[in-house]
Amino acid sequence: MCLIFCDEETRELERKPAYGKCPHCGGKVEILDVETKSRCCFLFPVCFEIKRKFRCTICSKRLVLKYY
């Protein structure tokens, strides 16, 4: 069975400041909680995810958190 995802809907849930600064420009870092819903040919939602993303407020670059 093969599903074709035709529509993806994103919505920002929350935006809050984070600790640290951007390594590229030195700007402040913020946390974005984003909800995505994928639909199969506009019929019904198939996939539902909530992701946390980090980005700089000045240069808008997406930052990746690395664990040691």
| DSSP H or E run through 54 | strand 45-56
1 pLDDT above the threshold of 60: no
Give the pLDDT confidence score for residue 58 in this predicted structure: 93
Query: Bridge-partner residues for 54, per DSSP?
Result: 31, 63
- Nearest 5°: the CA angle 45, 49, 50 is 140
Asked if residues 37 and 9 have their Cβ atoms less than 8 Å apart, the reply is yes
Q: How far apart are CA 40 and CA 28, in angstroms?
A: 38
pTM value is 0.68
Give the pLDDT confidence score for residue 63 in this predicted structure: 87
Domain residue spans of the chain? 28-68
Q: How far apart are CA 33 and CA 50, in angstroms?
A: 7
The per-residue pLDDT for range 5-58, each reduced to its tens digit, is: 567 788 899 999 988 889 899 899 999 999 988 777 656 667 788 899 999 999
